[in-house]
Amino acid sequence: QVQLVESGGGLVQAGGSLRLSCAASGRTFSSRAMGWFRQAPGKEREFVAAINWSGYSTSYADSVKGRFIISRDNAKNTVYLQMNSLKPEDTAVYYCAAGRVIAGTFIGDYWGQGTQVTVPS
């Protein structure tokens, strides 16, 4: 079992930056792939970024590539999402997930409660 708690969300002006954190409990964190997803009002949850267990392999949605960076610190059981050059369309609830990669697709097995990111237009 893995429990995840996100933090770091808030309101930021367009062009600004935020860093989200996801603290995980459980002994299996360092062996799991981790991902970030987001859900905007009225839209389905969408993939944002993922990182493998070692941190050496990452993947991103096209909409955030070049602006967001996912990283992890296995010693701290924490995964991060550095978000730069934020746009109003990045406004959403951001969710952290612990899971696995199957055929190049990240599958979330455990989910956090989410943290709100708002970028006013």
**pLDDT of amino acid 28:** 83
State mean pLDDT over 87-99: 97
- Per the listing, tokens 């002006």 go with 13
DSSP code of residue 29: G
What is the overall mean pLDDT for the chain? Answer: 96
The strand order across the sheet containing 68-73 reads 3-7, 18-25, 78-83, 68-73
Pick the range with the lowest mean pLDDT from 16-20, 25-29, 33-37, 117-121: 25-29
Half-sphere exposure of 4 toward its Cβ, with a 13 Å CA cutoff? 28
- Interior/surface letters 72-85, b for 16+ CB within 10 angstroms, e for the rest: beeeebbbbbebee
pLDDT for 108: 95
User: Strand, helix or coil at 89?
Assistant: helix
Question: For residue 26, what pLDDT is reported?
Answer: 80
- pLDDT average, residue stretch 49-77: 96
The 10s digit of each residue's pLDDT in 66-84 is 999 999 999 999 999 999 9
